[in-house]
Amino acid sequence: MKALLPLSRAIDALTERIGRFVYWLILAVVIISALNATIRKIFNYSSNAYLEIQWYLFSFIFLIGAGYTFLRNEHVRIDIVTGRLSARAQNWIDVIGIVFFLFPMCILVGWLSWPLFLDSWTRHEVSTNAGGLIIWPARLMVPVGFTLLVIQGISELIKRLAFLQGLIPNPLEKHAGKSAEEELAEEIARQRNLDVGVTK
C-alpha cells in the first residue's frame, strides 16, 4: 500500500484540478442562464442553442464533477446505519462498495455509452430542435465522466485499504474546511487581483 499512496495522491491532485475547473463552469452556467432570460424578456428573442448549451454545461458539471465529489466525500450516504459503525467497518463497507458496485457500474456505463458517442460522431448528429447544437459532445461526457469516477475510485480504494493497514488517518473523516462556494469566491477574487496586477 505504501507504494500505491503516491499514485493516490497524484489522482487526487488531478481530480482537484478538474474540480476547480468545474467551479468556473458553474459560474458560466449562471451567467448564460441570466443572459438568456434577460435577452428573452427584453428583446423577445431566444434560441434553442442557448438552452441546449445550459443543458450541456449542467451535464458536464454533474458527470465530470462526480470524481471530485467522491474525493471530497460529499456523495449521499446512509449515515443512519453506517454512522453507528466503527471507522474500520465504515471503510470496509466502502471497499466492498467500490469494488463490487462502483467499478462494475462505471465500467458498464462507460462501455455501453462509448458506441453511442462514436455513432453520434460519425453521423455528425445534430439536435432535432431548430437551431440546436451538435450532439456528440454531450454523448462524450458520459464515458469520460464515468472513466474519471473509476480513476478517483482507485484512489479512494487505495486510501481505504491504507487506513485499514494503519498507514494513514481515516479518509472518511470530513475535515472542517471551506465550502465549495467559499473556494469559488476566493478563486474569483484571486483572478480579479491577478487581472488588476496585469493591467497595472
Q: Is residue 179 domain-resident?
A: no
Q: Is residue 74 domain-resident?
A: yes
Q: What is the pLDDT of residue 181?
A: 66
Q: Is residue 50 domain-resident?
A: yes
Q: What is the pLDDT of residue 94?
A: 93
Q: What is the pLDDT of residue 199?
A: 59
* Local structure of residue 72 (DSSP, 8 states): T
Residue with cell 467559499: 182
Mean pLDDT computed over 153-172: 94
Q: Which residues constitute the domain of residue 47?
A: 5-173
State yes or no: pLDDT of 80 exceeds 70: yes
Q: Is residue 180 domain-resident?
A: no
Q: How many domains does the chain have?
A: 1
Give the rounded percent of residues in the chain with a pLDDT score beyond 90: 60
22 Cβ contact partners less than 8 Å away, ≥ 6 residues apart: 60, 61, 64, 65, 68
Q: What is the pLDDT of residue 83?
A: 75
Residue 176 banded pLDDT, cuts 50, 70, 90:
low
Exposure on the CB side of residue 192, measured as CA atoms within 13 A: 6
Q: What grid cell was written down for 50?
A: 442557448
Q: How many CB atoms lie within 10 A of CB 140?
A: 19
pTM equals 0.82
Mean pLDDT computed over 7-23: 94
Q: Is residue 148 domain-resident?
A: yes
